[in-house]
Structure 1
Amino acid sequence: MDHLRHAALKLALGEQPTEDLPMIAAQALAGGLESPALIELAGLSRRDPPADIRDLFVQTMAELGLPVPGVEEAWRERMLEAAEGMLTGSLTHYEASNEIYWCACHLERTDSAREIVHLFIGLWSSWEDWPDERASIERDMQLAAADLLRGHGKRVPE
């Protein structure tokens, strides 16, 4: 399910090649997921019309109860995934802070989004500028990432 959800986020952001969606669907089928549109999508070729592939993917996600998000929602989810990645160790503090900042730049210009941008660009640039202080800055990055997740009703990994 994670591969499909990740593909849906990338599709919403214009980063998912449609020709890869049939193989992603086939992998989901092999992993035990099933829906009529998923079966049909897995049977398509990379050379089928991109609009047909995309439409069938959108239908698949709806059938599975995971509709393809809008652009704003996709940026927010990607930002929260980066925060989680920092806390689980799948991303470095530096990578995650940069990703959080970058995603927040694409959100609607609210006070909250601006605060996230300023906080994480500050932490990210401080990490570069103050190498002797990196341990302390990384702790601040972790606290900010945990607060970001909590503020969006997400569980904070331990």
Structure 2
Amino acid sequence: MGKPPDLVAAEYALGSVDVERVPWYAADWLANGHDGPALRELAGLDGTDPRLIGELLPDALTEVGVAIPSPADAADAWFASLAQRLIDGEVDERTVSEHASAFVSWHLDLDEIWRSPFTDLHVIVDEWDQGWGRGNQELAAVVRQLCRDQLSRVPASSGLDLMNLAHSSARQQVDGLRRLLNGWDFIGVHHPHTNVDEYDCLIGPLLARMATGTNADDLSTYLSAEIRGHFGITVSDTSIRAFAQRLLTWWGTNQKHR
């Protein structure tokens, strides 16, 4: 399946481009009338040489008239596209906060994204339906205002596929899920330098479930049983359910089973 050049440029800037698929994207751009030596060479590759693909991609994007944005600009464009979906009525405020939180969790290593006011959503996402902090109506108003503020600064790009920026390769899926688990840190033992793999035993089963089309109930049941059986502790159903919903948002299923 093809992918627009501006999306690939944004993914490249954010370090989430699916390198193995880039030659197929390049072939699609050629078929759409673009041309150039780097683009032709890139389209002729089979996806097994990531180094060469990475070297050719910036020149190929230049040949199709697309500049690679800075990570900050790529993140801004992503957030603006999400904000526009809210304004257009495609998603609700809670979905916006969940998608934004998943995006921020996925790109925690990119300091540039923290300049955006949209990253406030990373903090408030766990307040929905909790009975503490702000109520749902207040949260919805905050989200909607953040969307307006974002769109006043950065126009939305129609080419950005929101969820393709969330995960684009097996390695990135593993790394991203590890970040989410470490961010949840239900035992309280994560350390960014000395203990980053405490929850790795959960990664494979969770990825397998999401790949086959799971839902929040299934994920919650699995997590609850695994936490009790393997880790020997009990975590509240509310916390497990919230994390299951976050997993689904990150994966891109956009399912809600409340």
Fold conserved between structures, TM > 0.5: yes
Instruction: Return closer, same or farther for 1:121/1:52 CA change in 2, 3 Å cut-off.
Output: closer
Is the CA contact 2:79–2:150 (under 8 Å) kept in the aligned structure 1? no
**Which residue in the other structure is 2:149 paired with?**
147
Over residues 74-123 of structure 1, what are the superposed CA-to-partner deviations in whole Å (9 max), with x where a residue is unaligned? 2222222222233335555333223435549645487x64x5433x2465
| Structure 1 residue 54: Cα displacement | 1.6
Instruction: Provide the C-alpha distance between the structure 1 equivalents of 2:53 and 2:42, rounded to a whole number of angstroms.
Output: 7
Is the CA contact 1:83–1:100 (under 8 Å) kept in the aligned structure 2? no
| Structure 1 residue 6: Cα displacement | 1.2
Is 1:28 aligned to 2:32, yes or no? Answer: no
Residue 124 of structure 1 aligns with an amino acid whose one-letter code is: V
Please give the residue correspondences for 1:122-141 in structure 2 after superposition, counting only pairs within 5 Å.
123-129=124-130, 134=136, 137-141=139-143
Is the CA contact 1:18–1:53 (under 8 Å) kept in the aligned structure 2? yes
Is the CA contact 2:72–2:113 (under 8 Å) kept in the aligned structure 1? no
Instruction: Provide the C-alpha distance between the structure 2 equivalents of 1:34 and 1:125, rounded to a whole number of angstroms.
Output: 45
Instruction: Return closer, same or farther for 1:108/1:19 CA change in 2, 3 Å cut-off.
Output: closer
**Which residue in the other structure is 1:45 paired with?**
46
**Which residue in the other structure is 1:80 paired with?**
80
Instruction: Return closer, same or farther for 1:39/1:95 CA change in 2, 3 Å cut-off.
Output: farther
Instruction: Return closer, same or farther for 1:71/1:39 CA change in 2, 3 Å cut-off.
Output: same
Is the CA contact 2:128–2:139 (under 8 Å) kept in the aligned structure 1? yes
**Which residue in the other structure is 1:66 paired with?**
66
Instruction: Return closer, same or farther for 1:45/1:108 CA change in 2, 3 Å cut-off.
Output: closer
Residue 16 of structure 2 aligns with an amino acid whose one-letter code is: E
Instruction: Provide the C-alpha distance between the structure 1 equivalents of 2:113 and 2:126, rounded to a whole number of angstroms.
Output: 22
**Which residue in the other structure is 2:10 paired with?**
9
State, as a whole percentage, how many aligned pairs show the same letter: 21
**Which residue in the other structure is 1:56 paired with?**
56
Structure (1/2) with the larger helix percentage:
1
Instruction: Provide the C-alpha distance between the structure 1 equivalents of 2:89 and 2:52, rounded to a whole number of angstroms.
Output: 38
**Which residue in the other structure is 2:174 paired with?**
none
Instruction: Return closer, same or farther for 1:138/1:27 CA change in 2, 3 Å cut-off.
Output: farther
| Structure 1 residue 144: Cα displacement | 2.2
Instruction: Return closer, same or farther for 1:109/1:124 CA change in 2, 3 Å cut-off.
Output: closer
Instruction: Provide the C-alpha distance between the structure 1 equivalents of 2:68 and 2:12, rounded to a whole number of angstroms.
Output: 8
Instruction: Provide the C-alpha distance between the structure 1 equivalents of 2:141 and 2:9, rounded to a whole number of angstroms.
Output: 32
Instruction: Provide the C-alpha distance between the structure 2 equivalents of 1:55 and 1:29, rounded to a whole number of angstroms.
Output: 18
Instruction: Provide the C-alpha distance between the structure 2 equivalents of 1:109 and 1:127, rounded to a whole number of angstroms.
Output: 23
| Structure 1 residue 5: Cα displacement | 1.4
Is the CA contact 1:29–1:38 (under 8 Å) kept in the aligned structure 2? yes
| Structure 1 residue 136: Cα displacement | 6.2
Is the CA contact 1:18–1:54 (under 8 Å) kept in the aligned structure 2? yes
| Structure 2, gaps ≥5 residues long | 159-258
Q: Name which one, 1 or 2, has greater alpha-carbon Rg.
A: 2
TM-score w.r.t. structure 1 length?
Answer: 0.70
Is the CA contact 2:86–2:92 (under 8 Å) kept in the aligned structure 1? yes
**Which residue in the other structure is 2:19 paired with?**
18
